[in-house]
């Protein structure tokens, strides 16, 4: 006996499903947006849409500009005073270029605010007859440091792999000198 064709079951539509289909329909077109009938009407409609978008963007820009805070003359003056009161200081990198028996050269690339305004100085050192060139180089470096710092300063130690707070004060000279000898030459020995 042949099988009878089954009828598909149709489930009754619930109210939420009906509401979903109504909500998902496309929004109604604007009343004045009738489709253009010829090319000229189409071009004019496109121009009008662009003009409306530009006007809207101009209004948004004007509103944003109006909400911006423009600093008063007093605020500008105080900001300038505060900037001028900040300590200048400097940052820099020492690099030993050559060390001979009596003379040596090192460079100092220094900058004050950021690396973009850096300058490079090449410094030649003469230890004199029977002088310690390594210690003479370190002493010249200390002179350069004291041009910018009178008290404490941060030293980024490559040997210790950390930042060390050092003193540029004259009374702390021997400690700074010994530290820089170890930093650059690996020893603190040699005549003073």
Report the distance separating Cα 156 and Cα 164, nearest Å.
6
State mean pLDDT over 151-162. Answer: 88
pLDDT of residue 188: 56
This prediction's pTM: 0.52
Residue 192 CA from chain centroid, whole number:
44
Residue 168 has pLDDT above 80, yes or no: yes
State mean pLDDT over 168-181. Answer: 93
Tens digits of residue pLDDT in 108-145: 988 776 666 778 889 999 998 888 999 999 999 999 98
Tens digits of residue pLDDT in 51-80: 998 888 888 888 877 777 777 888 888 877
pLDDT of residue 128: 87
Task: Compute the CA torsion angle 182, 179, 110, 128 (nearest 10 deg).
Answer: -70
Residue 29 has pLDDT above 70, yes or no: no
Residue identified by tokens 């000279």 is 173
Q: DSSP code of 171?
A: G
Q: Pick from 146, 141, 92: which is nearest to 120 by CA?
A: 92
Backbone angles phi, psi at 190, to 5 degrees: 120, 160
Report the distance separating Cα 104 and Cα 98, nearest Å.
5
């Amino acid at each position: 006996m042949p099988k009878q064709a089954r009828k598909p079951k149709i489930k009754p539509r619930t109210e939420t499903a009906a509401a979903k289909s109504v909500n998902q329909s496309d929004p109604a077109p604007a009343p004045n947006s009738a489709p253009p009938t010829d090319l000229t009407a189409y071009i004019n409609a496109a121009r009008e849409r662009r003009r409306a978008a530009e006007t809207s963007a101009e209004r948004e820009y004007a509103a944003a500009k109006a909400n911006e805070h423009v600093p008063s003359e007093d605020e500008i003056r105080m900001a300038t005073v505060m900037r001028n009161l900040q300590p200048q200081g400097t940052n820099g990198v020492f690099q030993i270029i050559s060390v001979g028996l009596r003379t040596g050269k090192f460079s100092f690339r220094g900058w004050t605010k950021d690396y973009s305004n850096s300058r490079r100085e090449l410094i030649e050192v003469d230890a004199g007859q029977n002088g310690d060139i390594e210690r003479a180089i370190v002493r010249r470096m200390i002179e350069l440091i004291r041009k910018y710092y009178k008290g404490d300063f941060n030293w980024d130690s490559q040997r210790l792999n950390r930042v060390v707070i050092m003193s540029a004060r004259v009374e702390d000279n021997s400690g700074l000198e010994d530290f820089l000898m170890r930093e650059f030459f690996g020893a603190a020995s040699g005549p003073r």
